[in-house]
Amino acid sequence: MRVLVQRVSSARVTVDGATVGEISPAGQGLLALVGITHTDDAALAAKMAEKLWRLRILDDEVAAADVGAPILVVSQFTLYANTVKGRRPSWNAAAPRPVAEPLVDAFADALRGLGALVQTGTFGAHMQVELVNDGPVTVLLEL
């Protein structure tokens, strides 16, 4: 599992012109782009959620858990692109939908269980993600 986290002052994901998830510009939040590979499981999703929730990357080195910062979770299979050979990425390391979708949901649910205000994109949809990266701060989480 890979989670690319961006500290944002606002973020929004739309599908077919309709907003499906949003962090309003009322302070800082986190945009979490989540990639799943074949060996991931629900226990790892829970550990990764805990790591993100307590990660001290907001202003004054506080975590989302400290200030109740909102989190926008968006599935992103392209985090597992293999670009070693040629010019066309391979997606073989990305888990297929029947594996990945429940684990992205488990990750979001684990965050909610920790007390996070979570919005999500739409798994498998063609999404447009808009964000204002604050800092900029971008961190890749892997366990």
Catalytic residues: 76-78
Percent of the chain that is helix, strand, coil (3-state, to 5): 30, 40, 30
How many Å apart are CA 120 and CA 21, to the nearest integer? 5
E strand residue ranges, 61-126: 71-75, 118-120
| Residue carrying structure tokens 């888990």 | 95
Task: Report the alpha-carbon distance of residue 65 to residue 80 in Å, rounded.
Answer: 28
Using CA atoms, how far apart are residues 143 and 128, in angstroms rounded to an integer?
Answer: 28
Checking DSSP bridges between strand 71-75 and strand 29-35, what pairing results, if any? Answer: parallel
